Amino acid sequence: MTTFKIQGRDLLSLHNFAPDEIDTILQFAGDLKYRQKRGEPHSYLHGKTLGMIFQKPSTRTRVSFEVAMYQLGGYALHLNPADLQLGRGETIADTARVLSRYLDGIMIRTFAQEDVEEFARHADIPVINGLTDLLHPCQILADLLTIQEKKGFLEGLKLAYVGDGNNICHSLLFGCAKTGVNISVASPENYRPKPEIVELARQDAQNKNSRIDIFTDPAEAVKEADVVVTDVWASMGQESVAAQKAAVFAGYQVNHALVKDAKEDFIFLHCLPAHRGEEVAADIIDGPHSVVWDEAENRLHTQKAVLAMLL
């Protein structure tokens, strides 16, 4: 049985992982991807079960984690809130203690970061953050693998994130800081990333001398960028303010006018689902610079690495 340095750990935030640990996850993900493409067996998790708790709808997270466990020789158990006593008042702590007796790991996709952290405090098995309103570490591991595949390296690149200072932005700040990618964020004044996240990311960046810049001008952020990233303007659960945010973010669409000063060979990333004509023009996301389908596929490979290494 192969053992890994991070076996038994939780993945709640990339801030909690050392640069060499993130590098190892990415390297192992690349190896697993190669083996899967060649049809080589890699049943690291034979006989193991992952419980997946979804309090938010999901396409990529559910399918990629379920397929990941299958390809690793394990089993993924989908747990809807309606299937659990959480919906009837059982505490997170009690649920975590009980599920720890049945499962080998838990993936949670929910609203509050505090809920995932409380789950991890009381669980005796690894807990993986499949998305919260604050962070989305699994997505950013896939992004980093995609950038590494397309550019050949990470350290010294410039990534520009244009849009809401949301969970994707927060985890990009951590992921870039840990891997030596310089990141420029452009968000409207009242929608910038949380200052406490920026401060933690700046502390992380000292190890790799990564640069972190926060702008309100998207053109300034995108200048000379190797990678351009955006996300929906209204995140899941914010549908009631979608029209209001669309007016505020009107000048933040990633289109040809905005990316004219990016590097000639820049790549475009989006975690999906995308709203063409809103945060991104159709001819960008469907154009030659876009690598969003490779990025979506890499959710599978990076999550396989995380599962095999933690469980």
Told to judge if 23 belongs to the known catalytic residues of this protein, a careful annotator would answer no
Residue 176 annotated as catalytic? no
Catalytic residue among 104, 231, 253, 303: 231
Strands 182-186, 212-215: pairing is parallel
End-to-end distance of the chain based on CA atoms, in angstroms?
Answer: 12
Which residue in 9, 60, 136, 170 is the catalytic one? Answer: 136
Sign of CA dihedral 240, 274, 132, 56: positive
Tell me if residue 136 is catalytic: yes
Using CA atoms, how far apart are residues 114 and 124, in angstroms rounded to an integer? 17
Query: Which residue among the candidates 148, 299, 301, 303 is catalytic per the annotation?
Result: 299
Determine whether 231 is an active site residue.
yes
DSSP letters for 83-151: GSGGGGT--HHHHHHHHHTT-SEEEEE-S-HHHHHHHHHH-SS-EEEEE-SS--HHHHHHHHHHHHHHH
| Active-site residue (options: 60, 109, 170, 270) | 109
**Is-catalytic flag, 62?**
no
Which member of 36, 55, 71, 139 is catalytic? 139
Q: Is 276 a residue of the active site?
A: no
Q: Is the dihedral of CA 198, 173, 237, 92 positive or negative?
A: negative
What residues contact residue 283 under an 8 Å CB cut-off, 6+ apart? Answer: 255, 256
Active site residues: 109, 136, 139, 231, 271, 299
